[in-house]
């Protein structure tokens, strides 16, 4: 009885803590929307129109924020989808190609069209990054305008066509404003739900640590496509509303200036934030009203703002508002892992019998990095992999985790061959890893970074997360509490809410181990986890790795610290020039003549 009440109190405390966090996040957003509700009552029709414009822009920008701010894909031509939505809605309502369609049905159809074209425009992002993607969205924007100009029978060409009229009660300025505001609030809520789900964390992982994202089982292509569907639909619906606001649309209304405004709003706001880009959108929409003489130079001003943001304040408004992360961290922090928590973390059935490499060969530009390596990692054992620099240790890890496909030989897990080069599937097959240089999302909190590791255990679908349905909420609760356990286990629980890039190097190493444990792997590959750690920390790391193996998890440990290797390993493989020089127990290796002359010295 006492026990259950204690755990209930613990749960309540956890819940209230999460509650404080979400209020800190949602409070300012709710405040902004409450203030927006007052606009029609304290101002005139003109300002209501401006506010309507800001709301419509936010419907697009809020969704685009997931593409630019979270996924880091520089989609600079999104005015194309606004144009598409505006014309689809107007043409459908006017009945130029079909019998006239009611406004809301037209908006829905425009949303579907936007989703389809969102994916088409997004396709290049799957294989190409940055400049290529930016240019292809730019090209799409140019083409859409040309089509609108040329397809006169449908779009009215340069003369244009009237925008759809809303039915009562949304036909007045005020009514339409409240409608747009409601759509904007809905988009904000949905993007916030995504941001706080494994999908949102997957996006920032793809942006800042794509290699780690693959190793944790985040399916980049599927994730980006889903986001492009959502963003395309939102942008096209924003276009439909925009057409109503304009009352009459011509291709001139959709200049590249708008595209610039959209993505600068996000960059000014700050990557990975929702409040920042919202403020950015409001500021940029209002700016021309206060700087009317500069109207002709608006693009120039936007461009200057963009340059200043990029060169001077890459964090944007969100970084300015992030007061919590300005407090100094305690110096001289020591990491004290709680080894007894490892059991709670990794408790799972470990049926996998072992990783087996047979005759693996891989060369880079003619140099054989690994040349016929046989290696076995057994469940519940620690296998040390040592050798001089360039002997192929990390390359072996990369072959196992699917980043490289071997030219010859095989990699099997529990007797079944692992598909070469399929790095995204390794996590779900039970293989997790860390990296020689920690691959982390610097701008996200330590807790979020660790939660990324649990991506494969998420149950909810994208739609469930979008609408914050029960399965999404239980996913989040479970992931959060597991991540807290993992952080406690490695001794970083007091830093859970700190931005990861403020941590010390040694703390990042333990954070990566916590992230790897979140997948509850059958095997864990550690790439020089002791590099940069103090002697004390190396001792604790050793105990922690031992605790991992006691749970039945096999460990492949690449290390240069011979003491650590000989201290904790059950079995050691020594590599030299891509070949196995010696294999055996630590005692055998320590006295192996060739190993001593090639590597250990003495």
Residues that bind another protein (CB under 8 A): 74, 76, 123-124, 126-132, 134-136, 138-140, 142-143, 146-147, 150-151, 210-211, 256, 260, 267, 296-297, 299-300, 302-304, 306-307, 310-311, 314, 364-365, 394, 398, 403-404, 435
Rg (CA), the chain: 28
- Smallest separation (angstroms) from another protein to the CB of 126: 8
- Determine the Cα–Cα distance for residues 540 and 532; give it in Å rounded to an integer: 14
Distance of alpha carbon 305 from alpha carbon 191, whole angstroms = 25
Q: Residue 556: enclosing H or E segment and its boundaries?
A: strand 554-558
Nearer to another protein, 128 or 329 (CB): 128
Of 307 and 336, CB closest to another protein: 307
Which residue's CB is nearer to another protein, number 198 or number 439?
Answer: 439
Write down the least CB distance from residue 127 to another protein, Å. 5
CB of 9 vs another protein, minimal distance in Å: 45
Could you tell me which residues are beta bridge partners of residue 579?
Answer: 576
**Which residue is associated with the tokens 């190609």?**
97
Question: Burial code of 379-406, b = ≥16 C-beta within 10 A, e = fewer?
Answer: bbbbbbbbbeeebbbbbbbbbbbbbbeb
Of 237 and 385, which CB lies nearer to another protein in the complex structure? 385
Distance between first and last Cα of the chain:
62
23/297 with CB nearer another protein:
297
Q: Please check whether residue 569 is in contact with residue 385, taking contact to mean a CB–CB distance below 8 angstroms.
A: no
Q: How far is the CB of 276 from another protein (least distance, A)?
A: 16
CA 40 to chain centre: 38
DSSP assignment of 248-296:
EE-GGGS-HHHHHHHHHHHHHH-TT-SHHHHHHHHHHHHHHHH-GGGGG
Smallest gap from residue 110 Cβ to another protein (A): 20
Q: Which is nearer to another protein, 294 or 591 (CB)?
A: 294
**Of the candidates 263, 238, 311, 250, which has an alpha carbon nearest to the alpha carbon of residue 55?**
238
Q: Answer for the pair 274, 188: CB distance below 8 angstroms, yes or no.
A: yes
Shortest spacing between CB 301 and another protein, in angstroms: 9
Q: At closest approach, how far in Å is the CB of 362 from another protein?
A: 12
Give the contacts of 135 (CB within 8 A, at least 6 positions apart).
none
Residue 260 vs 318, nearer CB to another protein:
260
Q: Minimum distance from CB of 213 to another protein (Å)?
A: 12
Cβ–Cβ < 8 Å for 359, 408: yes
Q: In 417-517, which residue ranges form alpha helices assigned H by DSSP?
A: 446-452, 462-466, 470-490, 505-517
- Shortest approach of another protein to residue 151 CB, angstroms? 8
In angstroms, give the least distance from the CB of 418 to another protein: 16
According to DSSP, the residues that pair with 161 across neighbouring strands are 249
The whole-angstrom separation of Cα 314 and Cα 325 is 16
Residue nearer to another protein on the CB measure, 1 or 365: 365
Instruction: Report the residue number, 399 or 498, with the smaller CB distance to another protein.
Output: 399
Which CB sits closer to another protein, 350 or 439? 439
CA-to-CA distance for 240 and 85, rounded, in angstroms?
Answer: 5
């Amino acid at each position: 009885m006492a026990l259950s009440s204690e755990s209930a109190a613990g749960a309540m405390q956890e819940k209230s803590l999460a509650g404080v966090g979400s209020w800190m996040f949602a409070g300012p957003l709710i405040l902004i929307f409450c203030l927006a509700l007052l606009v029609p009552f304290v101002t005139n029709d003109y300002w209501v129109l401006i506010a309507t414009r800001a709301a419509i822009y936010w419907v697009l920008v809020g969704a685009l924020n997931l593409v630019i701010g979270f996924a880091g894909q520089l989609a600079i031509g999104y005015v194309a989808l606004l144009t598409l939505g505006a014309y689809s809605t107007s043409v459908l309502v006017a009945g130029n190609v079909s019998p006239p369609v009611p406004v809301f049905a037209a908006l829905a159809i425009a949303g579907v069209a936007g989703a389809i074209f969102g994916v088409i425009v997004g396709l290049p992002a799957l294989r190409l990054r940055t400049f290529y993607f930016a240019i292809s969205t730019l090209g799409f924007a140019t083409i859409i305008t040309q089509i609108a100009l040329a397809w006169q029978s449908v779009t009215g060409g340069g003369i244009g066509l009237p925008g759809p009229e809303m039915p009562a009660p949304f036909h007045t300025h005020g009514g339409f404003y409240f409608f747009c505001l409601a759509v904007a609030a809905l988009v904000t809520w949905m993007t916030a739900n995504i941001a706080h789900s494994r999908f949102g964390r997957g996006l920032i992982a793809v942006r800042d640590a794509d290699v780690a994202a693959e190793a944790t089982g985040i399916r980049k292509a599927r994730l980006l496509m889903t986001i492009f569907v959502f963003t395309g639909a939102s942008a096209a619906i924003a276009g439909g509303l925009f057409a109503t606001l304009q009352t009459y649309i011509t291709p001139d209304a959709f200049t590249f200036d708008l595209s610039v405004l959209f993505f600068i709003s996000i960059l000014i706001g700050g990557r990975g934030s929702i409040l920042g880009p919202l403020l950015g959108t409001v500021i940029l929409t209002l700016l021309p009203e206060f700087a009317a003489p500069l109207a002709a130079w608006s693009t120039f001003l936007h461009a200057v703002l963009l340059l200043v943001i990029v060169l001077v304040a890459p964090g944007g408004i969100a970084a300015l508002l992030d007061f919590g992360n300005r407090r100094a961290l305690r110096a001289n922090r020591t990491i004290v892992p709680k080894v007894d928590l490892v059991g709670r973390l990794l408790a799972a059935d470990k049926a996998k019998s072992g990783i087996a490499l047979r005759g693996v060969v891989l060369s880079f530009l003619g140099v054989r990095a690994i040349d016929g390596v046989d290696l076995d990692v057994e469940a519940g054992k620690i296998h040390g992999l040592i050798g001089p620099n360039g002997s192929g240790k990390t390359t072996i890890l990369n072959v196992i985790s699917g980043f490289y496909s071997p030219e010859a030989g095989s990699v099997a897990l529990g007797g079944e061959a692992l598909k070469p080069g399929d790095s995204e599937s390794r996590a779900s097959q039970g293989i997790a890893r860390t990296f020689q240089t920690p691959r982390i999302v610097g701008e996200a909190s330590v807790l979020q970074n660790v939660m990324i590791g649990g991506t494969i255990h998420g149950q909810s679908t994208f739609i469930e997360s979008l609408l914050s349905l029960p399965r999404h909420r239980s996913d989040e609760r479970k992931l959060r509490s597991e991540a807290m356990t993992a952080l406690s286990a490695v001794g970083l629980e007091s830093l859970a809410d700190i931005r990861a890039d403020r941590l010390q190097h040694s703390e990042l190493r333990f954070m990566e181990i916590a992230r790897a444990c979140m997948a509850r792997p059958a095997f864990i590959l550690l790439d020089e986890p002791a590099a940069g750690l103090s002697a004390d920390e190396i001792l604790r790391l050793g105990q922690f790795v031992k605790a991992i193996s006691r749970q039945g998890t096999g460990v492949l440990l690449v290390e240069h610290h011979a003491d650590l290797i000989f201290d904790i390993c059950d079995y050691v493989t020594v590599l030299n020039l891509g070949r196995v020089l010696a294999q055996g127990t630590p005692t055998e290796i320590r006295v192996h003549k060739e190993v001593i002359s090639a590597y250990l010295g003495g």
